[in-house]
Amino acid sequence: MLLALAGCGGGDEDSSLSKEEYTTQLELVCNKGSQERETLVTTISKEYYEQREQRANAKYQEENLLKLMDTYQGTTEKIADIGLPEGEEEKAEAFIQAREEAAGKVEASPLGTRDNLEIIFEPANEKSQALGVGNCDL
C-alpha distances (whole Å) from 52 to each of 8, 48, 107 are: 45, 6, 25
d(CA 14, CA 20): 16
CB neighbour list of residue 106: distance below 8 Å, 6 or more residues apart: 65, 69, 113, 114, 117, 120
CB neighbour list of residue 118: distance below 8 Å, 6 or more residues apart: none
d(CA 134, CA 125): 7
| pLDDT higher than 90, residue 6 | no
Give the pLDDT confidence score for residue 9 in this predicted structure: 37
Per the model's pLDDT, the better-predicted residue between 133 and 122 turns out to be 122
The three-state (H, E, C) secondary structure of the chain, written as one string: CHHHHHCCCCCCCCCEECHHHHHHHHHHHHHHHHHHHHHHHHHHHHHHHHCHHHCCCHHHHHHHHHHHHHHHHHHHHHHHHHCEECCCHHHHHHHHHHHHHHHHHHHHCHHHHHHHHHHHHHHHHHHHHHCCCCCCCC
Please provide the average confidence, as pLDDT, over all residues in the chain. Answer: 85
Give the pLDDT confidence score for residue 15 in this predicted structure: 63
Give the pLDDT confidence score for residue 54 in this predicted structure: 57
Mean pLDDT on 5-30: 71
Mind listing the pLDDT tens digit for each residue in 28-45? 999 999 999 999 999 988
Give the pLDDT confidence score for residue 3 in this predicted structure: 35
Give the pLDDT confidence score for residue 90 in this predicted structure: 95
Mind listing the pLDDT tens digit for each residue in 36-83? 999 999 998 888 887 776 566 888 889 999 999 999 999 999 999 999
